[in-house]
Amino acid sequence: MWLLIPFLVLPVVEIAVFIQVGGLIGLWPTIGLVILSAVAGSWLMRQQGAAALADLQRSFRELRDPTAPLAHGALILLAGALMVTPGFVTDSMGIALLIPATRRWVIRQLGRRMRVTSVGFGHGAAGPSAPPFRPGGRATTIDADYVVIADGDAAGNDTPRPRDGRPPSGWTQH
């Protein structure tokens, strides 16, 4: 229900600001400002979005946590959407989100309100690719089949065999 309030209040505020600005500078300059802000917002979003994408790719290359570049990219996308939306209030919110310090502040505020409940891999804790350690640091047992490969077998000279000498199921003898 609380999410409905901005969708009701924001258009009313935007209309009131349009009336005030239109009364001060006239109709055509007001429309010109709205169009100019949409074009500028689109251009700024592309510029900063490209930088955020490069930062995200760099974090993957350097094996760093990509959450900050992803969050910045999402906020840049939101800023662009706000600036393309007609209205002076949404434009000012979009411009504010294009400032890196403001994005960092928003990310910090959102981070304080979020809580990670579990970290899993693949299908989750009960799935086939569950993490090998339980909370508290105790290792779990990992059941696996293995194949012993002699030195010459790695080059494909012989069929690798399990320790008991039988070929693995599904393998054919050459």
* Helices of type H across the chain: 4-25, 27-61, 67-84, 88-97, 100-113
Residue-wise burial string across 32-61, b where 16 or more C-beta atoms lie within 10 A, e elsewhere: eebeebbeebeebbeebbeebeebbeebee
CB 22 within 8 A of CB 30: yes
d(CA 149, CA 166): 13
Residue 16's pLDDT is: 94
Give per-residue pLDDT as tens, 76-115.
989 988 988 888 999 999 989 989 999 999 999 988 888 7
Quick one: tokens of 85?
């939306």
- Average pLDDT value for residue range 142-166: 61
Give per-residue pLDDT as tens, 8-53.
899 899 999 999 999 999 999 999 998 888 888 888 888 888 888 8
